[in-house]
Structure 1
Amino acid sequence: MKKSKMNSLPLKTISNLFLLLFTTISNASCSNDDAEAKKSPVILVHGAWQASYVWDTTESDLKAAGYNVTVVKLPGHGDDTTPTYQVSFQSYVDEVKKAINAYNEPVILIGHSLGGAVITQTASEVPQKIKKLIYIAGFIPQNGKSVLDYSQMDTASLLPASLKLSEDQTLAGIVNPEVNLPKIFAQDATDVQKQFLVTRYKAEPTIPLGTPLNYKTADYNLGGIKYYIFTTADNTITYGFQQEMAKSAGIANTYTINSGHSPFISKTAELSKLLKEILSH
């Protein structure tokens, strides 16, 4: 009977072959571990009439998936006591850049609503530090236009008609927030979720809302791969207007969630799943 080639090999040679195979498998496993360890940092930027607390569940979900996450606290929001006259659009951008500079690698910026305008300006100022830009129902004003300009262009939005200004016009509030805030920002949320937003409601500084963005489109285009998540039942920034902005900005990577303006409140699991899908690309 003819011996197989394996049986004819010296024992030492066979041992070396198994050692080589084991080393190859181990190295492949280490490479996968390294890939997992190199997930880009994620920075979350909230919108108007809200604050960093809206990201609590999203932050926890992304951290559980292995991401380093920073939630930006914009001046004048939540428990921040910066005087209203000192709150500027550039102060928002500077706060995001501070979060970016805490990492020694390109980051992924996620902006909601007003936060969309903030990450747009930020990406144009430090494009080399941005890997991806993800909008969730986010404003993308063109150079020379403000969030207020764009909000007034969205004629189907319920927001503009519900606003009231303070006497000195430095704050914009929501008329009858107990009723209108949930209707505008989270009509699809549960009663508990709506109350969560209402009890944390705070009037919005007007100066940043009316400040035109100032950037070069070429710089913005260098600021990472762009994605847009449409919220199709949105009463604040309507689905159609979101589509117009994404198209104008040349964003081809788009996704949808059937939610109101605050999916991180009403559709947390669906949003987290979608974000993890985008982040893994």
Structure 2
Amino acid sequence: MKNFKTMKKSKINAQSPLKTISKLFLLLFTTISAASCTNDENATAEKKSPVVLVHGAWQASYVWDQTETDLKAAGYDVTVVKLPGHGDDTTPAYQVSFKTYVDEVKKAINSYNEPVILIGHSLGGAVITQTAAEVPQKIKKLVYVAGFIPQSGKSVLDYSQMDKASLLPASLQLSEDQTLAGIVNPEINLPKIFSQDATEAQKQFLIARYKAEPTIPLGTPLNYKAEDYNLGGKKYYIFTTADNTITYNFQQEMAKSAGITNTYTINSGHSPFISKSPELTTLLKEILLK
């Protein structure tokens, strides 16, 4: 009996090193796998899609300056599109078309080798709508900031006239050749329409850079297929609740018609990147990370 117990104990002791090695190997493998998964997850989390910003009418790329700075500080690669006929661009108004706007946005998108997050304000909303419908495979997310969303066959001008509470249509004045649309008494009406909630310095900033708007793109109907614009739920809208240019109610109607259910609100006039820049950036970063 004693010999049997001794033999049994010896057999158990002989197996113990193997079991110990197996456990160590399993622990090592688990640790390495966990570390690898963590590294992969971190790499995925750190990877941020590029952002393309499109401005609206009677403004130019400068309105996105603070937003661009804030998004870059958060680690995003940002391109701000400069639409022809705006800001410092001297393209004659009669040469500016809605297609040239879309082509500029496509150029910005094509500078990246991956899908982008495309953000448009006001007139820029119509531009990104047409663009996204033409290159849906290159759009990761489509974000409207108080943006127009004309249905195919309708123009920005059509939609602006549908918004009966807007202060904009009654303040427009065409040039003699009808190629430019200006704001009557811009020193007074521009802030009232676009940025009534801005500080005096911010209002003067916009007034000093005011420029009449080419009319051809405003009156050009969009032309796209509804199925191309669907984008599988990747559309977002930020409502500006105190907007005098595109009223809150009309923004809601457009978003609903476009099938956009991912919506946010900011209590601002038509130019939140001027009057409420920190709040706007916070909303944009929330959307970008979804």
Both structures adopt the same fold (TM-score exceeding 0.5)? yes
CA shift at 1:223, angstroms?
A: 7.1
Counterpart of 1:34 (choices 43, 58, 62) is: 43
What are the Cα deviations for residues 39-58 of structure 1, in whole angstroms up to 9, with x where unaligned? 11111000000000100111
How far apart, in 2, do the equivalents of 1:122 and 1:221 lie? 13
Counterpart of 2:183 (choices 174, 193, 211) is: 174
1:100 maps to amino acid: I
1:120 maps to amino acid: T
Q: How does 1:182-221 map to 2 (within 5 A)?
A: 182-221=191-230
Task: Provide the identity percentage.
Answer: 79
What are the Cα deviations for residues 204-227 of structure 1, in whole angstroms up to 9, with x where unaligned? 000000001111111111376111
Counterpart of 1:87 (choices 89, 93, 96) is: 96
How far apart, in 2, do the equivalents of 1:125 and 1:37 lie? 29
What are the Cα deviations for residues 86-145 of structure 1, in whole angstroms up to 9, with x where unaligned? 100000000000111111111111000000000000011111111111101000001111
Alignment partner of 1:251 is 2:252: no
CA shift at 1:15, angstroms?
A: 5.6
Give the aligned partner of residue 75 of structure 2: 66
Q: Match of 1:188, SS? A: coil
Alignment partner of 1:122 is 2:118: no
CA shift at 1:270, angstroms?
A: 0.7
What are the Cα deviations for residues 231-274 of structure 1, in whole angstroms up to 9, with x where unaligned? 00000000000011011111111111010001111111111011
Give the aligned partner of residue 60 of structure 2: 51
Q: Give the 3 Å change call, closer, same or farther, for CA 223–72 of structure 1 in structure 2.
A: farther
Counterpart of 1:227 (choices 231, 236, 244) is: 236
How far apart, in 2, do the equivalents of 1:12 and 1:191 lie? 75
**Kept in 2: contact 1:133–1:224 (CA 8 A):** no
**Kept in 2: contact 1:127–1:223 (CA 8 A):** no
**Kept in 2: contact 1:62–1:69 (CA 8 A):** yes
Give the aligned partner of residue 144 of structure 2: 135
2:48 maps to amino acid: K
Q: Match of 1:161, SS? A: helix
What are the Cα deviations for residues 66-87 of structure 1, in whole angstroms up to 9, with x where unaligned? 1111100000001111111110
Q: Match of 1:80, SS? A: coil
CA shift at 1:12, angstroms?
A: 5.6
How far apart, in 2, do the equivalents of 1:15 and 1:50 lie? 66
Counterpart of 2:276 (choices 262, 267, 272) is: 267
TM-score by length of 2: 0.90
Between Structure 1 and Structure 2, whose CA radius of gyration is higher?
Answer: 2
Counterpart of 2:160 (choices 151, 156, 160) is: 151
How far apart, in 2, do the equivalents of 1:155 and 1:64 lie? 40
**Kept in 1: contact 2:233–2:260 (CA 8 A):** no
Give the aligned partner of residue 112 of structure 1: 121
Alignment partner of 1:239 is 2:248: yes
CA shift at 1:65, angstroms?
A: 1.3
**Kept in 2: contact 1:130–1:224 (CA 8 A):** no
**Kept in 2: contact 1:127–1:224 (CA 8 A):** no
Greater shift in the superposed pair: 214-223 or 72-81: 214-223
1:148 maps to amino acid: L
Give the aligned partner of residue 75 of structure 1: 84
**Kept in 2: contact 1:174–1:203 (CA 8 A):** yes
CA shift at 1:9, angstroms?
A: 8.3
CA shift at 1:8, angstroms?
A: 8.3
How far apart, in 2, do the equivalents of 1:36 and 1:275 lie? 17
Aligned residues between the structures:
275
How far apart, in 2, do the equivalents of 1:71 and 1:185 lie? 20
1:180 maps to amino acid: N
Task: Please list every run of 5 or more consecutive structure 1 residues that lacks an aligned counterpart in the other structure.
Answer: 1-6
How far apart, in 1, do the equivalents of 2:46 and 2:170 lie? 48
TM-score by length of 1: 0.93
CA shift at 1:149, angstroms?
A: 0.5
Q: Match of 1:187, SS? A: coil
